[in-house]
Structure 1
Amino acid sequence: MQKILITLLTLSMLSCGQKSDNSQYLQTKIDSLENKLSQTYKPGFGEFMGNIQIHHAKLWFAGENQNWQLADFEMNEIKENLDGIQKYCSDRTETKSIGMINLAMDSLSNSILKKNKVMFQRNYTTLTNSCNTCHQATNHEYNVITIPKIPPFSNQDFMTKK
């Protein structure tokens, strides 16, 4: 019985040593993965804003042509980019101001849902003004957004197919 107890104690002690080696191995792996993760590509604030600007322009032409399905799509693209800013650029002070456009976004979404062109135009103008207000509040007043005059892409038809 004493031999069995000694054998079990010895195995126990050996397995503790293995846990320590295993813990060190796992920690090394974690450190390596964290290092790789810190080196991966992360879109910058300007990249997100550039994408928003494109979708903002496309949204205008979709609404003007009463292509409500495309307008809704462009609204969702803007929302995805805003979510990306909050996820990947949370360290930027400007990110804290993003919420100031939520009311304008909601109103514009509502006008798209109602398929109301006049309401869309009014709410689009409000959204555009909200963007500029945010730019001013975050010391980017030199970045002025306007209602587009020409489509951003010549290879996209913004009219609905009947």
Structure 2
Amino acid sequence: MLLTIFVLVGAAPLLISAGPSRLSAGARQALAAPTSDTEVAGLQAQVDRLKGLVPDQAHAMADVGYHFANLWFAAEKRNWPLARFCFNETRSHLRWAVRIIPVRKNPAGQDVDIKGILDAVDSGVLADVGTAIEAEDQARFVATYRQALEACYSCHKASGMPFLRPQVPTAPAAPILNFDPEAKWPQ
């Protein structure tokens, strides 16, 4: 049996898992199932409060857009270290978005397996984008980036959000970043 405990550190809830052998008998007893409706209501209130601390999926997806837009300009300038960073951040934030809502309802009330869609996209077209970056192949990058945008849009449509139509970016999301790999300033 694995015990999961929520701990609040700063503003971020963390999960700490421990097997029963790591907890004292008193700790196991203190963490035993609540025995009264009052305790259950108190625990539900704590869970609801913790849920309120977690950003929504739209926030995570805004981060995806930020990193994926910057990825385009990093590759355009052949700044492959920056492209790798932006690519890895994109994938990380996609996974975060799916942890927030792994299954959502479409307008017809049917379940859409967002995690399943991401798993397919991640092992398919996103892997191809990563391969193009590792090969430092700009032409292949352009083609696979566009395919990734199409895959993103397929997920948006499946989720009942066809109005979220991605495009090849026309300007970087981070104007403060210098995408030139030969930049001399700042030192």
TM-score normalised by L of structure 1: 0.75
* Kept after mapping to 1: 8 A contact 2:79/2:180: yes
Distance of 1:123 and 1:77 partners within structure 2? 17
Distance of 1:138 and 1:120 partners within structure 2? 27
After TM superposition, the structure 1 stretch with the greater mean CA deviation from structure 2, 111-120 or 88-97, is 88-97
2:164 match: secondary structure: coil
* Kept after mapping to 1: 8 A contact 2:75/2:83: yes
More strand by share: 2
Q: Kindly provide the CA deviation profile for residues 28-87 of structure 1, in whole angstroms up to 9, marking residues without a partner as x.
A: 6x9667753442211211111111011110000000001111111111111111221232
Distance 1:110 1:36, change over 3 A: same
Residue type of the alignment partner of 1:132: Y
For residue 88 of structure 1, report the CA deviation from its aligned partner: 2.4
Partner of 1:153: 174
Distance of 2:121 and 2:98 partners within structure 1? 14
* Aligned counterpart for 1:109 among listed residues 122, 130, 141: 130
* Correspondence list, 1:119-138, <5 A: 119-138=140-159
Q: Structure 2 unaligned runs (5+)? A: 1-24, 105-111
Partner of 2:162: 141
Structure with greater Cα Rg = 1
1:70 match: secondary structure: helix
* Correspondence list, 1:26-37, <5 A: 26-27=31-32, 35-37=45-47
For residue 153 of structure 1, report the CA deviation from its aligned partner: 2.4
Distance of 2:152 and 2:171 partners within structure 1? 20
Residue type of the alignment partner of 1:84: W
Distance of 2:91 and 2:182 partners within structure 1? 26
More helix by share: 1
Distance of 1:148 and 1:107 partners within structure 2? 19
Distance of 2:120 and 2:162 partners within structure 1? 15
Q: Structure 1 unaligned runs (5+)? A: 1-18
For residue 159 of structure 1, report the CA deviation from its aligned partner: 1.2
Partner of 1:61: 73
Distance of 1:134 and 1:91 partners within structure 2? 12
TM-score normalised by L of structure 2: 0.66
After TM superposition, the structure 1 stretch with the greater mean CA deviation from structure 2, 83-92 or 113-122, is 83-92
Correspondence 1:43 to 2:55 = yes
